[in-house]
Structure 1
Amino acid sequence: MKIKILSLLVLSFFVFNATWAINLNKGTDTLHAAALKPFGRTIINAAKKLELISSAAHFGFKFSGDSCVIFADVPDAWAHNYLQYEIDGVYQNRIRIDGKKPGPVIIKAAGNGEHTIWIYKATEAHTGAIVIGDIVAKKAKAISVAKAPLIEFIGNSITCGAAADDSEYPCGTGDYHDQHNAYMAYGPRVARKLGANYLMSSVSGIGIYRVWNADGPSMPDVYENLDFHVDSKQKWNFNTYSPKIVSIALGTNDFSTGDGKSVRSPFDNEVFVTRYVKFIQLIKSKYPKAQIAVLSSPMVKGAQQEVFEKLLMEIKNHVDALYPKDKEVKTFFFKPMDPHGCTSHPSVADHEILANELYPFYQAMLK
């Protein structure tokens, strides 16, 4: 029965698309996914469609007229995901992409002139890919991100912008990713303020040697995989980008006391330092010219905060000794925060505070 319903959904999707193709106004252009110039962890799949994978993976295009049509879908007909967008430099909102209701996304613009639009993935890699097909609009033309220094942000749910936006789904309702807002996370925000490009490599619940309620897989176990899944067969091509700064914000989940159900061993200082140093060595093997920054966490407080900061300094000293000719590792310690998002995460407003804290730190590094 489920297969039959799924078949009908797929059929209705193609019929709907065909109807749109017939009814589109004369003079429109079709911009195919393979012609887009995306930024972030993405792939062009076998069907020649663009898959947005990592948090805040994005692409841009120009068009004329008062609207454009984007064909977007999710691989699982029973799932949903979120895009978000800005038009003519102004952020708008999130767009729900529902596998049960396939169809085009229509974006309206103010006026009939030329417009510039950027589309972002609002959610993280583990939420699944969002598949972009054709874009239909008058004078539709793909554009590239401007040339600028690149910062790669490696981290956990905080870096993802998870549980930050309860404007549509109040905390405690919907699915976990219903409150994701990668565009408004601290990394993209501070990068935009700096005029820098950004690459998001983040996974909710992950740490440097364990996750929030289990022993793994940790970030070093999944970092080289395209979608950050431990069993992924597709590797990420690290030659795609060359970041000037690689910013690592891991440790919150290593310090976690767990879910109260699984057995949780005490935090191990030595393992934390060893795994962190090895992870930085892995990053340096991928990006020999990048400068490394290690960040604490606004969620780790009190005695744990003191231990965390001390260990980050130890990690910095280890790495600096191993690579005496490289630029030194930079450390940044967040001010403790009482978060206002869901499940003790920073809210959209909190992320602005974090971005403002980080701005002079990254600004000095970029100089």
Structure 2
Amino acid sequence: MSVKTVWAMLPALASAGLLAFGLLAAQPPRPADGPVPVVAAPAGISAQFIPDAQPTPDMTYLDARITGRASGEARGYEHQWPAFHASARFSGHSVAVALDDAANRYRVTLDDAPIVLTRPGAGMLRIEGLSDGPHQIRIEKLSERSEIGRFEGFFLPAAGTALPPPAAIPLIEFVGDSDTVGYGNTAPGRDCTSEQQYLATDTSQAYGPMTARALGADYRVIAASGIGLVRNLGGGSDPAMAQLYDRALPSQPDAPSAPERAADVVVIGLGSNDFAERPEPDQSRRELQQQRDRFADALLQFMRDRRADSPSARIVLLAFGEYGDDLIAAHRQALDEFVADGDAADLLVLPELARTACHWHPSLNDHQVIASKLIRLLKAMPHAP
């Protein structure tokens, strides 16, 4: 999509709620386009969500591998960023998942069988009738909502046996905007109602998770629709990524962060919203250069901060080249100064994408194109500092 197309789409994007986190957004409406099942399980799996149910004293809490920025600790994690997920292992014929979230969609995977939860609310998902032997269970948030969700854990009935959680694997962190979120990525076309866009968003099928899975890695997604590094789509006073990145919960600056490990790779895909809007007709080239310099300076500092967080991580700048020469030049400027520090990073400039999903966002095929380029880059030897 050309920058001209982005400018033409701004009113529709704004009305679709693409302005940062929408930190004061109301509770989402119930579906307007037909019923959405609270639980959708494949044949052969007995799964029932029981509203307001709580773990009983005879149940065993399962230790889990938690990935994704969140607030809390064992037996309770609040989350607001996309793609929060947790995995655990057990032996037994049944298992339960405790949640409190009336806003988001989740995929619960029991071994290879997926169960989709849509706006479940508070209660427990009970899965029963499992075969003998060990099992693995995973829950992942698919949607993007401003409301805070709560994962309260996996639980086993008395007859089950807890097993150690899955071992940690390499971690790739993806920082970005709606393209990183996977906004409306499974939709068959660009025209989407807000409910269709909600149902079509699946962060697990965005380029970041695609890349990580292909490389045998886990992923952490720090992204929000409409967000920029220093300036969000449409301007306004909402904080941008430079201010929000460190927050466990974007809408709660003082929420304590759950422990998280350093990333092995950090992919930074920001800038599209900083450069998306048409300059004022009387804006001089000098003013445009100043805007580019401000972004480059902020990106350089953001890279330095990520280096402090993850001292041995490979850092990749992902530039959506269709947003213009100024965006690419600002990325090159930040990269040159980062290298002058004695550090190293990669710059991957993406070609124009088809953007046939909701509101001119990348389709599943576009996400695969991005993932293929990232996979090729990350399989190559990194630059030496």
Please tell me the TM-score bracket, short chain as reference.
Answer: 0.7 to 0.9
The residue number in structure 2 matching 1:202 is: 223
Of the candidates 228, 239, 242, which is equivalent to residue 220 of structure 1?
242
| Residue 49 (structure 1) aligned with residue 70 (structure 2) | no
Q: Please say if residues 73 and 97 of structure 1, whose CA atoms lie closer than 8 Å, have aligned partners that are also in contact.
A: no
Distance (Å, rounded) in 1 between the aligned partners of 2:195 and 2:78:
24
Q: Please say if residues 50 and 125 of structure 2, whose CA atoms lie closer than 8 Å, have aligned partners that are also in contact.
A: no
The residue number in structure 1 matching 2:319 is: 296
The residue number in structure 2 matching 1:85 is: 108
The residue number in structure 1 matching 2:333 is: 314
Question: Which runs of structure 2 are paired with 1:11-50 in the superposition (5 Å)?
Answer: 17=53, 30-32=59-61, 35-44=63-72, 48-50=75-77
| Residue 362 (structure 1) aligned with residue 378 (structure 2) | yes
Of the candidates 86, 89, 97, which is equivalent to residue 70 of structure 1?
97
Distance (Å, rounded) in 2 between the aligned partners of 1:107 and 1:15:
14
The residue number in structure 2 matching 1:335 is: 351
Deviates more, 1:174-183 or 1:54-63: 174-183
Q: 1:226: how far off? A: 0.8
| SS in structure 2 of the partner of residue 333 of structure 1 | strand
| Residue 103 (structure 1) aligned with residue 102 (structure 2) | no
Q: Please say if residues 107 and 116 of structure 2, whose CA atoms lie closer than 8 Å, have aligned partners that are also in contact.
A: yes
Q: 1:155: how far off? A: 0.6
Distance (Å, rounded) in 2 between the aligned partners of 1:361 and 1:120:
27
Distance (Å, rounded) in 2 between the aligned partners of 1:161 and 1:271:
27
Q: 1:342: how far off? A: 0.8
Of the candidates 259, 267, 273, which is equivalent to residue 296 of structure 2?
273
Of the candidates 185, 193, 199, which is equivalent to residue 206 of structure 2?
185
> For residues 252 and 175 of structure 1, do their structure 2 counterparts lie closer, same or farther at Cα, with a shift above 3 Å needed?
same
> For residues 339 and 219 of structure 1, do their structure 2 counterparts lie closer, same or farther at Cα, with a shift above 3 Å needed?
same
The residue number in structure 2 matching 1:151 is: 172
Structure 2 residue identity aligned to 1:141 = A
| Residue 130 (structure 1) aligned with residue 130 (structure 2) | no
Structure 2 residue identity aligned to 1:49 = G
Q: What is the TM-score of this pair, normalised by structure 1?
A: 0.76
Gaps (5+ residues) in structure 2? 1-48, 279-286
Deviations 1:7-61 (A, max 9, x none): xxxxxx999526x959xxxxxx73427x33312213336x942334432221112
The residue number in structure 1 matching 2:160 is: 139
Deviations 1:294-349 (A, max 9, x none): 1112xx52xx433322221111001111x21x3x1110011211112211112334
| SS in structure 1 of the partner of residue 326 of structure 2 | helix
Q: What is the TM-score of this pair, normalised by structure 2?
A: 0.73
Q: Please say if residues 87 and 139 of structure 2, whose CA atoms lie closer than 8 Å, have aligned partners that are also in contact.
A: yes
> For residues 109 and 359 of structure 1, do their structure 2 counterparts lie closer, same or farther at Cα, with a shift above 3 Å needed?
farther
Distance (Å, rounded) in 2 between the aligned partners of 1:269 and 1:126:
30
Greater RCO (Cα-Cα under 8 Å, separation 6 or more): 2
Structure 2 residue identity aligned to 1:342 = C
Of the candidates 227, 250, 263, which is equivalent to residue 243 of structure 1?
263
Distance (Å, rounded) in 1 between the aligned partners of 2:338 and 2:175:
18
Task: Compare the two structures and name the one with the higher helix fraction.
Answer: 1
Q: 1:350: how far off? A: 2.9
| Residue 286 (structure 1) aligned with residue 309 (structure 2) | yes
Q: 1:73: how far off? A: 1.5
Gaps (5+ residues) in structure 1? 1-12, 23-28, 259-264
Deviations 1:123-175 (A, max 9, x none): 347342233245235535364343332211111111112222348xx821427
Q: 1:64: how far off? A: 4.0
Q: 1:246: how far off? A: 1.2
Deviations 1:205-227 (A, max 9, x none): 11111001114411111111112
Q: 1:109: how far off? A: 7.3
Of the candidates 194, 201, 211, which is equivalent to residue 232 of structure 2?
211
Distance (Å, rounded) in 2 between the aligned partners of 1:61 and 1:155:
28
Structure 2 residue identity aligned to 1:50 = Y
Q: Please say if residues 83 and 119 of structure 1, whose CA atoms lie closer than 8 Å, have aligned partners that are also in contact.
A: yes
Q: Please say if residues 36 and 59 of structure 1, whose CA atoms lie closer than 8 Å, have aligned partners that are also in contact.
A: yes
State the superposition RMSD in angstroms: 3.3
Deviations 1:263-321 (A, max 9, x none): xx979212111211122222223223222211112xx52xx433322221111001111
Distance (Å, rounded) in 1 between the aligned partners of 2:226 and 2:129:
38
> For residues 315 and 86 of structure 1, do their structure 2 counterparts lie closer, same or farther at Cα, with a shift above 3 Å needed?
same
Q: Please say if residues 211 and 254 of structure 1, whose CA atoms lie closer than 8 Å, have aligned partners that are also in contact.
A: yes
Distance (Å, rounded) in 1 between the aligned partners of 2:192 and 2:264:
36
Identity score, percent: 25
Structure 1 residue identity aligned to 2:304 = Q
| SS in structure 2 of the partner of residue 32 of structure 1 | strand
Structure 1 residue identity aligned to 2:351 = K
| SS in structure 2 of the partner of residue 147 of structure 1 | coil
Distance (Å, rounded) in 2 between the aligned partners of 1:141 and 1:54:
29
Q: Please say if residues 53 and 125 of structure 1, whose CA atoms lie closer than 8 Å, have aligned partners that are also in contact.
A: yes
The count of corresponding residues between Structure 1 and Structure 2 is 323
Distance (Å, rounded) in 2 between the aligned partners of 1:186 and 1:109:
35
Q: 1:113: how far off? A: 4.0
Structure 2 residue identity aligned to 1:352 = Q
Structure 1 residue identity aligned to 2:53 = N
The residue number in structure 2 matching 1:3 is: none
| SS in structure 2 of the partner of residue 117 of structure 1 | strand
> For residues 173 and 234 of structure 1, do their structure 2 counterparts lie closer, same or farther at Cα, with a shift above 3 Å needed?
closer
Q: Please say if residues 355 and 362 of structure 2, whose CA atoms lie closer than 8 Å, have aligned partners that are also in contact.
A: yes
Q: Please say if residues 71 and 248 of structure 2, whose CA atoms lie closer than 8 Å, have aligned partners that are also in contact.
A: no
